[in-house]
């Protein structure tokens, strides 16, 4: 595999390449979203069954989030060295192996092996998250929000469908001697394999390597391989107030969302909801996460990144209040989860776009890998605490904790200087 584009594309070729790259990323996101959502929909239920305790229920999703964080490091290094195609395909292939491991662990009744499997399954989420930055590689600076949001939106189809097919997916494996809640992971593994094949076959030429070739041919070319280490990425973030805000927005939005979402199926179940109703609520949540992202992206490009990040903080706080005071009202819980997804979308798209704007091209792959590491490590910690908080204090206090996580973003947004809006030929 070539590590760099043979030559920078011309203007007409670049337009065609942008459209082709977007189409491939959209298709891979549909598959990736389906794989992730199908497996994770009943992960907390499966963990409670295998672990035998409500306090352990949140650890399956937490393990998946932590796996996404830890695995983002080798995938980021692979992406920096070999391009998006290698990083994305590796993520989906490793995620498929994790799904198989979850099924084996549930059949054996091994909770530690289950956590290992869900951690490895998190590689599929890492690939899905990385794809949003692949969309920005070749986008015009003034349209980065739209480019990122288009790929985020594509996850809607698979992610909304996934929780609703989780129950039939579980029933389809009944004859295999595994718990019903483990069946969706087997389906998720098969879908990840399809996504890997798609990326390997069609994501050519590589968007990141092409973007580097364009930058090297430009008037402000950076030294080859400059800034591609994780340490250089951390230095680039530390040097930019907007990059620090962007990283905090992505990490805190994701942490608040995961901490609340991971225990909502368990809370619903303890208030009489069946698997189908839980799947519907999670589908509404995922609709909020992805379906409105094109609107969020356009707001990023028209109004600026900072207003969208502030909107995300407000929506997430409102979601915590709504869900946290539901007290068994399934409709109110569903409304809170929808707002939770919408706030996450604004935080992720606004933060990811601002992050890409705020660092030089030579450092972007490293900074983006660092962003995924921080956001998933923080969310993993929040998810790990979520089960304990619910067991000891209740679901309402969990939502209060989720709202408190947003305070650093609000503080950084208030102190940040006004962001320059990139023009068609800028940054």
Mean pLDDT score, 11-16: 80
Per-residue pLDDT reduced to its tens digit, 48-101? 888 888 777 778 877 887 888 889 888 988 898 899 999 999 999 999 999 999
Question: What does 75-125 look like in DSSP terms, one character per residue?
Answer: HHHHHHHH-HHHHHHHHHHHHHHHHHHHHHHHHHT-HHHHHHHHHHHHHHH
Q: Identify which of 148, 175, 57, 169 has the alpha carbon closest to the alpha carbon of residue 348.
A: 148
Distances (CA, A) of 136 to 110, 149, 290, 296: 41, 10, 17, 15
276: exposed, middle or buried (C-beta count within 10 Å: 0-12, 13-18, 19+)?
Answer: exposed
Quick one: pLDDT band at residue 145, thresholds 50, 70, 90?
A: very high
Report the percent of the chain where pLDDT is more than 90: 50
Across the chain, what does the average pLDDT equal? 87
Residue pLDDT, tens place only, 238-271: 999 999 999 999 999 999 999 999 899 888 988 8
pTM score: 0.82
Task: Check residue 329 and give its pLDDT.
Answer: 93
| Closest C-alpha among 290, 134, 287 to residue 205 | 134
Cβ(348)–Cβ(253) under 8 Å?
yes
Are 227 and 367 in contact by the 8 Å Cβ rule? The answer is no
Query: For the segment 124-138, what is each residue's pLDDT rounded down to a tens digit?
Result: 989 988 998 998 998
How is the chain split among helix, strand and coil, in percent rounded to 5?
85, 0, 15
> Which pair of tokens denotes residue 41?
């929909």
Q: Is the dihedral of CA 137, 142, 148, 153 positive or negative?
A: negative
Distance CA 240, CA 262 (A): 33
């Amino acid at each position: 595999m070539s590590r760099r584009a043979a030559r920078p594309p011309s203007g007409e070729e670049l337009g065609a390449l942008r459209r082709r790259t977007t189409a491939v990323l959209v298709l891979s996101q549909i598959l990736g979203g389906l794989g992730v959502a199908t497996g994770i929909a009943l992960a907390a239920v499966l963990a409670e069954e295998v672990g035998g305790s409500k306090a352990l229920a949140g650890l399956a999703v937490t393990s998946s989030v932590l796996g996404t964080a830890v695995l983002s490091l080798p995938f980021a290094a692979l992406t920096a060295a070999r391009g998006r195609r290698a990083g994305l395909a590796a993520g989906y292939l490793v995620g498929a192996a994790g799904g198989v491991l979850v099924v084996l662990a549930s059949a054996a009744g091994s909770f530690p092996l289950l956590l290992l499997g869900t951690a490895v399954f998190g590689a599929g989420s890492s690939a899905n998250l990385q794809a949003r930055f692949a969309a920005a590689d070749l986008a015009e600076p003034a349209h980065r929000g739209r480019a990122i949001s288009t790929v985020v939106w594509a996850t809607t189809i698979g992610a909304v469908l996934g929780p609703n097919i989780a129950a039939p997916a579980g029933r389809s494996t009944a004859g295999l001697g595994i718990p019903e809640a483990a069946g969706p992971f087997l389906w998720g593994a098969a879908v990840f394999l399809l996504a890997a094949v798609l990326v390997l076959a069609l994501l050519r030429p590589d968007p990141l390597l092409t973007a580097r070739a364009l930058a090297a041919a430009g008037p402000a070319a950076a030294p080859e391989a400059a800034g591609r280490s994780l340490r250089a990425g951390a230095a680039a973030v530390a040097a930019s107030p907007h990059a620090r805000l962007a990283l905090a927005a992505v990490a805190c939005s994701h942490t608040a969302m995961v901490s609340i979402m991971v225990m909502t199926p368990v809370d619903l179940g303890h208030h009489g909801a069946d698997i189908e109703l839980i799947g519907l609520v999670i589908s509404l949540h995922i609709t909020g996460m992805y379906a409105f992202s094109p609107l969020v992206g356009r707001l990023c490009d028209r109004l600026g990144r900072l207003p969208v990040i502030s909107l995300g903080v407000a929506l997430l706080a409102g979601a915590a209040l709504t869900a946290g005071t539901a007290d068994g009202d399934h409709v109110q819980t569903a409304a809170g989860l929808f707002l939770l997804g919408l706030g996450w979308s604004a935080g992720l798209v606004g933060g990811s776009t601002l992050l890409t704007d705020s660092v030089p091209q030579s450092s972007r792959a490293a900074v983006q890998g660092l962003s995924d590491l921080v956001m998933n490590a923080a969310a993993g910690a929040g998810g790990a605490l979520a089960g304990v908080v619910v067991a000891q204090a209740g679901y309402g206090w969990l939502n209060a904790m989720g709202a408190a996580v947003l305070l650093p973003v609000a503080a950084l947004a208030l102190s940040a200087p006004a962001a320059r809006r990139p023009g068609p030929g800028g940054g």
